Every structure is written in C-alpha cells, then in structure tokens.
Structure 1
C-alpha cells in the first residue's frame, strides 16, 4: 500500500446526502408538505451559505441558524429545533454509496483511515453507527468542532498534527468536491483522488492526482498501489 493514511470526505463520498428527501421527511413530521418548489426556495438561501462557510466568512452556527430563519417564523419554533430535526431526518434516511462497505473491508488493517467533513457533528456519529462504519475510522475530523472548514489549510494542518505529522507523501484525500476536498488537499501538499461519479468537467486550476467514477474503481486503484 502506497499510503499510511487515507482521509475521506463524508457526504456524497461515503454517504448519500439527499437533502430534499431529508427535508421532506423533517417537514412531514411538522405536518408540512415540502415539495420541489419549497426546496428550490430553501436552496436559494442554503447554497450561498455553504459557500460563505467554506470560505470562512460565516461560522457553522450562523449557517445552521440562517438557513431555517423563515421556516422557524412560519412554524413558530426555533432555528435550533428545525436544524436538529433536519439532521435527525438525514440520519434516518442515511445510506452508503455503492461500494463503500466493500472498500472499507478491502482497506481495513492495511492503512489508517479517517474522515474530514464539513458536515455537522450531530449527524456524524449516529450515521457511522447506523451504517456499521464506526470501527473503520481512527479519526473523524469535523469542521464545526475545529472551527475551520475545508478547503482551508488549517483543517488539514490540524488533522496532520493530530495523527503525529506523518510524511505528507504517504497521505491521500478522497472526496467528491473538487474545491473543498481536492483543492484543499492539493494546497496542503497531499495527494488527492476526486470521486467524480457524474463525470463532470474538471474545474480550471484543479488537478487531482487521481480521478475515479465509483468507489469500486477507487478500491481497484488502491489495492494495486
């Protein structure tokens, strides 16, 4: 095995993250029908907030609060209540990407593995437990806890120091987001693998060391290395 450490993103790298399905389930529990038009309105607020969060302009708490302000007013509840209900619904519908468990089994015992995610703390442990993935990972690094989000150098530096500052040439970052996962890893000086399931064009200025279209393809690549 070429690497001593492999770090994975969580959402859409190991786990499906169907936010529409999660929101629909969450709002159904409040007696609200949440359709595609409501989702489109939600995303007008939510998507720019994630950009601001990843660029360090807002905190995790601000993101969690702001995205649910209008709904909290309509339902006469708090944004914290809605955010927790959403993360609970996302845990309830959580499924693994095809090949995730097989990949973990193939790598387990051969390389140290961890997760670096911009997702929220409340969702991570329960999701790992429900999918039987907890024991595969030595560390789960969560931007909300570190106070820095990918692609910032700081979250990768924090992770590197936490695992004893090993040779960066022996580290790999795997993720679906060419900006936060791949560019972040490249800027920190470690090798990267872009999980490009939908065969998108590589953004300008981003050159992953590897590119795969499935976790099965990643498994074949890593077992050979």
Structure 2
C-alpha cells in the first residue's frame, strides 16, 4: 500500500513534468484529504436516533490516517462507537474477514442483530452478503441495480432507517 501511495504521485509528477518529491507530495495530499469531512445528507439527523438503540461502527476501505482524522474532525464523531480500517488489517471489503473482525471486536455475537448499511453494491452490500449479514443499500441516486448483489433492504435517504429499524 505504501508503494501505491508514492507511485501515484511519481506517475503524476512525471506526467506533469514536475520536479517534486513524491513522498512529500503524498504526505501533503493525505493531510489535506484528512481535513475533508463530507457527510451523507441526513446523517446528522439519523445518528442520534440510531445511537440510542444501536452500536454504530464504520468499516472503511480507506487509508487509516485519513479516515481517523476525518472522523475526529467530523460532526458525527460522538455517535460512532468504533472504526475498522482495511489498511490496518490488510483486508478490504467485500472480504468477509473484515466483517468478522468488526463483529468480534465490538462484541456482536449474533450476526442476525447486525446490519451493514452502505452505498456501494460491490464493497458494502457484497461484503455483508459474503458475511451472511443483512444489508441495507443506500441508493441515494435511485439507480437500477444491475449486479447480482441483492441487498436485504434498499433506501434512498438515511432518514428512511427510522421506518426500517
């Protein structure tokens, strides 16, 4: 992964004919990326409701330093019970091992009490399916699912979770 972080900036610098150190450029990029916090519409409204009833875990395929910094700076930090980052485990969604790790780490002994909510059919929903966990696809753009990854539930906004759960 570290090679990839540098290689993309080496390739970029070469393509743009820039005389820059790819390591410095990578560090700057990751630092700025960690400053950006983008919330899905409705997240700040639904999380207090969910937090009263459920343990909320983030499972992300992101870069650890970026994801943790984003969470620290985010308005939703107080509602999140934990984060599992693929870079730290060397396992990415949709591999069921990352879900197995998250369930064990946060003491969820019954898969039937877990729900994977995500906007990606190929990592979130397929990962939940591979892990035999119910899934809820956040289909904000109301697109047609042309994959074989069929979620247990489908919503268009996070606020629909109040009716679902």
- Do the aligned residues in 2 keep the contact of 1:72 with 1:82 (CA within 8 Å)? no
Shift of 1:217: 2.0
Q: How does 1:47-62 map to 2 (within 5 A)?
A: 60-62=1-3
**Correspondence 1:161 to 2:104:** yes
5+ residue gaps in structure 1?
1-59
User: For each residue in 1:98-137, what CA deviation from the matched residue of structure 2 results, as whole angstroms up to 9, or x when unmatched?
Assistant: 1111111111131111000001112122212222222222
- Cα distance in 1 for residues equivalent to 2:154 and 2:22: 38
TM-score normalised to structure 2 length: 0.88
Name 2:157's counterpart in structure 1.
214
- Cα distance in 1 for residues equivalent to 2:3 and 2:93: 17
Name 2:74's counterpart in structure 1.
131
Shift of 1:165: 4.7
| Secondary structure of 2:144's aligned partner | coil
Name 2:12's counterpart in structure 1.
71
- Do the aligned residues in 2 keep the contact of 1:174 with 1:192 (CA within 8 Å)? yes
5+ residue gaps in structure 2?
none
Shift of 1:70: 1.7
* Number of residue pairs matched by the alignment: 163
- Do the aligned residues in 1 keep the contact of 2:36 with 2:70 (CA within 8 Å)? no
- Cα distance in 1 for residues equivalent to 2:114 and 2:19: 48
Shift of 1:150: 0.5
TM-score normalised to structure 1 length: 0.66
Name 1:85's counterpart in structure 2.
28
Shift of 1:143: 0.3
**Correspondence 1:186 to 2:129:** yes
- Cα distance in 2 for residues equivalent to 1:154 and 1:63: 23
- Do the aligned residues in 2 keep the contact of 1:178 with 1:203 (CA within 8 Å)? no
User: For each residue in 1:36-92, what CA deviation from the matched residue of structure 2 results, as whole angstroms up to 9, or x when unmatched?
Assistant: xxxxxxxxxxxxxxxxxxxxxxxx324323322222443333333223322332333
| Gap change, CA 1:62 and 1:154, over 3 Å in 2 | farther
- The runs of at least 4 aligned residues of structure 1 exceeding 6 Å deviation read none
Name 1:118's counterpart in structure 2.
61
| Secondary structure of 2:56's aligned partner | strand
Aligned-pair Cα RMSD in Å: 1.8
- Do the aligned residues in 2 keep the contact of 1:72 with 1:79 (CA within 8 Å)? yes
Larger relative contact order, structure 1 or 2 (CA cutoff 8 Å, min sep 6): 1
